[in-house]
Amino acid sequence: MWIKFSFCSTTVKHNRTLHVHKLEMAEINLRQFHASAISRTLDQVRKAHAGELDASKAEQLLNSARSHYDRMLVNHEALLSFAKDEELEVHSAWWDVTEEMYNDLCSSLMRLRPTKSDELHALREGNIDSSVEFKLAPLHMPSFDGALHNWLAFKDAFETLVHNRELPTAQTR
């Protein structure tokens, strides 16, 4: 009976080790996936010809890179929690290289964003339309039937649909 218990205990430890190893490999794969996405984007930005990346494309790429970086950070922190002391230096070196790549990408993309002085200059020169136009979805308003007992329900619905409605904020380029 003692041998059987010892065997079961060893089996449980072995299964736990395999489970941790699988989790660690999954985190490594996810971290590498996000790092590769950042690397591909950096290559794309470096290979882009002048004028090929406009401000909106740069903004989209920057948001994507931030998303990948944030998820990669989560995977990296999980890996650090699994890591043995002798593995920490390898993880740290990997992180330094990847973080530098991410920072290069962000600075390259941020240079493509127009500055406020660029926008003011273009506005003075008449190159930017300063008007903002919104087309909101039509409201389906309930009608008031004139019955006094329905007034509060109608008033609440009207206030919610008209006065308390969340509208998109105006953004200029």
- Low-confidence spans in the chain with pLDDT less than 50: 1-9, 12
Q: Is residue 93 a part of any domain in this protein?
A: yes
Is 40 part of a structural domain of the chain? yes
113: nearest Cα among 162, 62, 156: 62
Does 140 lie in the same domain as 83? no
Do residue 105 and residue 140 come from a single domain?
Answer: no
Encode pLDDT of 102-121 as tens digits.
Answer: 999 888 888 876 665 555 55
Distance (Å, whole) CA 34 – CA 167 = 34
For residue 17, the model assigns a pLDDT of: 64
- Verify that 103 and 32 share a domain, yes or no: yes
d(CA 93, CA 95): 5
Q: Are 88 and 137 in the same domain?
A: no
Locate 64 and state its tokens: 């994507």
pLDDT at 19: 59
What pLDDT score was predicted for residue 97?
Answer: 92
Residue 66 placed within a domain? yes
Q: Do residue 102 and residue 137 come from a single domain?
A: no
Residues 148, 56: Cα–Cα separation, whole Å: 52
| Residue 12 in tokens | 């449980």
- Kindly state whether residues 145 and 89 are assigned to the same domain: no
75 and 156 fall within a common domain: no
pLDDT at 39: 93
Task: Region of 19 please: left (phi>0), alpha (psi -120 to 50) or beta.
Answer: alpha
User: d(Cα 162, Cα 21) in Å, to the nearest integer?
Assistant: 56
Angstrom distance (rounded) from CA 27 to CA 37: 15
User: How many degrees, rounded to 5, is the angle at CA 115 between CA 56 and CA 47?
Assistant: 50
User: At 136, is the secondary structure helix, strand, or coil?
Assistant: coil
Q: Which two tokens stand for residue 80?
A: 């650090």
Q: Per the domain annotation, does 171 fall within a domain?
A: no
Q: Are residues 32 and 102 in the same domain?
A: yes
Which residue type, as a one-letter code, is found at position 51? G
Global pTM reads 0.57
Segments forming the whole domain that contains residue 11? 2-116
- Is residue 111 a contact partner of residue 74, using CB atoms and an 8 Å limit? no
The amino acid that residue 96 corresponds to is: D
Question: For position 4, what pLDDT does the model report?
Answer: 45
